[in-house]
Chain A
Amino acid sequence: MKQSVKFHLNGRSASVDVDDEAMPLLYALRDDFGLRGPRFGCGLGQCGACTVHLDGRAVRSCQTPVKLVAGRQVTTLEGLGTAEKPHPIQEAFVVEQAAQCGYCINGMIMQAADLLQRHPRPSDAQIKAALAGNLCRCGTHLRILRAVKRAAGEIA
Chain B
Amino acid sequence: MSINVMTRRAALQAGGMMVVAFSLGGSAKANAAALAAKPESLDEVDSFLAIDGKGAVTLYSGKVDLGTGVRTALAQIVAEELDVPFQAIAVVQGDTALTPDQGITYGSLSIQVGGMQIRQACATARKALLEQAAQRLSVPVTQLSITSGIVQSQSGTQVSYADLVGGKAFSLKVDKTAPTKPPSAYTVVGKPIPRVDIPAKVTGEFTYAQDFRLPGMLYGRPVRPAAIGATLLGVDESSIQHIPGIVKVVREGNFLGVVAETEWAAIRAARALKTRWSAWDGLPNERDLWSYVRSTKVAKDDVTSNVGNVPSALAAAHRTFKATYDFPIHTHGSIGPSAAVAAFENGTLTVWTAAQSTHALRHQLAAMLGMDASSVRCIYVAGSGCYGRNGHEDAAADAALLARAVGRPVRVQWMRWDEHGWDPKGPPTLVDLEAGVDARGNVVAWHGEFFIPMGAGAPVWLLPAQLAGKPAKIDLEPGNIIPDSALPYDFPNMYTVCHRLATTPLRPSWIRTPGRMQNTFANESFLDEIVAAVDADPLEFRLAHLKDPRGTELLHRVAKLARWETHEKGSRGKGKILRGRGLSYVHYELVRTYVAAVADVTVNRTTGKVRVERVAIAHDCGQIINPDGLRNQIEGNVVQMTSRTLLEEVKFSRSRVTSLDWASYPILRFPDVPEVTIDLIDRPTEPPWGAGEPTGAVIPGAISNAIFDATGVRLRSVPFTPKKMKAALASA
Contacts and interface: CB of A to CB of B under 8 A. Distances in A.
Contacts of B384: 101, 103, 137
Given A20-B264, A105-B202, A100 B69 contact: yes
Contact of B336 (A44, A80, A81, A103): A103
Interface in B183-205: 194-195, 197-205
Contacts of B633: 100
Contact of A102 (B198, B636, B676): B198
B234 to A, nearest CB: 27
B635 A76 contact: no
A99 B202 contact: yes
B520 interface: no
B268 interface: yes
Given A101-B382, A137-B335, A44 B632 contact: no
Contacts of B673: 128, 139, 141-142
A100 B385 contact: yes
Given A39-B336, A83-B203, A139 B628 contact: no
Contact of A42 (B199, B204, B662): B662
B638 interface: yes
B414 to A, nearest CB: 10
Contacts of B203: 37, 77-78, 80-83, 86, 90
Contacts of A46: 416, 661-663
B728 to A, nearest CB: 27
A132 B667 CA distance: 11
Contacts of A44: 416, 661-662
A116 interface: no
B427 interface: no
B260 to A, nearest CB: 11
A39 to B, nearest CB: 6
A99 B335 CA distance: 13
Contacts, number: 180
B337 interface: yes
A94 interface: yes
B637 A139 contact: yes
Given A101-B382, A137-B667, A76 B198 contact: no
B72 to A, nearest CB: 10
A105 B50 CA distance: 34
Interface residues of A, number: 60
Contact of A19 (B197, B245, B263, B632): B245
Interface in A92-112: 93-94, 97-106, 109
Contact of B268 (A20, A80, A104): A20
A36 B206 contact: yes
Nearest to B192: A97
Contacts of B661: 42, 44, 46
B166 interface: no
A43 B204 contact: no
Interface in B639-694: 639-640, 643, 661-663, 667, 669-671, 673, 675-676
Given A105-B201, A138-B636, A36 B336 contact: no
Interface residues of B, number: 62
Interface in A114-147: 125, 127-129, 131-143, 145
B395 to A, nearest CB: 13
Contacts of A145: 670
B523 interface: no
Given A83-B200, A102-B198, A97 B669 contact: no
A12 B416 CA distance: 32
A90 B202 contact: yes
Contact of A97 (B198, B263, B416): B198
B30 interface: no
Interface string B236-273: 00000000110000000000000000111001100000
Contacts of B204: 35-37, 76-78, 106
A137 B198 contact: no
B662 A47 contact: yes
A86 B603 CA distance: 42
Contacts of B632: 97, 100, 140, 143
Given A40-B337, A44-B662, A138-B67, A143 B635 contact: yes
Interface string B367-399: 000000000000000111101000000000000
A102 B264 contact: no
A41 B632 CA distance: 22
Contacts of B68: 100
Interface hub of B202, B207, B333, B337 (most chain A Cβ within 10 A):
B202
B210 interface: yes
B413 interface: yes
B66 A101 contact: yes
A136 to B, nearest CB: 7
Interface in B334-386: 334-337, 382-385
17 contacts: A24-B264, A35-B204, A36-B206, A39-B336, A41-B416, A43-B415, A77-B202, A80-B203, A93-B202, A105-B201, A128-B670, A128-B673, A132-B670, A133-B669, A138-B67, A138-B636, A140-B635
The 4 A-B residue pairs with the shortest CB-CB distance in the complex, in nearest-first order: A101-B67, A139-B639, A37-B204, A102-B201
Given A23-B264, A41-B337, A83-B203, 19 more contacts: A20-B268, A39-B210, A41-B416, A44-B661, A78-B203, A78-B204, A82-B205, A83-B199, A83-B205, A99-B197, A99-B201, A100-B385, A100-B636, A101-B335, A101-B383, A129-B670, A139-B637, A142-B635, A142-B639
